[in-house]
């Protein structure tokens, strides 16, 4: 059996699961490093779904698209409510 007959598996290195917190933190820091207002840009993305609100610097655009927007919003609301209850 030659190599051409075998099924090859390919796994991207950056396919490691990330939590919403990790995604938002990495994206926030990348936006800040590039001189953008991270809050405005992330809100723009969450409202519109347009990934061009997020810089591609440090793979931030790829990172934010790992999770569905509604999952990110849900996590933000949970954390906000949790913080308000303290």
Specify the 3-state DSSP secondary structure of 54: coil
Per-residue pLDDT of the chain (86 residues; tens, 9 = 90+): 565 677 776 666 556 789 999 999 999 999 999 999 999 999 999 999 999 999 999 999 999 999 999 999 999 999 999 999 97
Considering the entire predicted model, what is its pTM? 0.79
Segments making up each domain of the chain, as ranges: 17-84
Task: Please give the pLDDT value at position 6.
Answer: 77
Vertex 41, ends 47 and 49: CA angle to 5°?
Answer: 30
Nearest-angstrom CA–CA distance, 37 and 60? 14
Q: What are the residues whose beta carbons fall under 8 Å from the beta carbon of 71, sequence distance 6 or more?
A: 20
**Tens digits of per-residue pLDDT, 33-48?**
999 999 999 999 999 9
């Amino acid at each position: 059996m030659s190599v051409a007959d075998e099924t090859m598996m390919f796994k991207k290195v950056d396919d490691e699961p990330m939590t919403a917190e990790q995604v938002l933190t990495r994206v926030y820091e990348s936006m800040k490093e590039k001189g953008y207002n991270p809050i405005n840009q992330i809100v723009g993305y969450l409202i519109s779904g347009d990934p061009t609100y997020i810089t591609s610097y440090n793979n931030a655009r790829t990172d934010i698209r790992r999770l569905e927007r509604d999952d990110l919003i849900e996590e933000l609301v949970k954390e906000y409510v949790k913080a308000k209850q303290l």
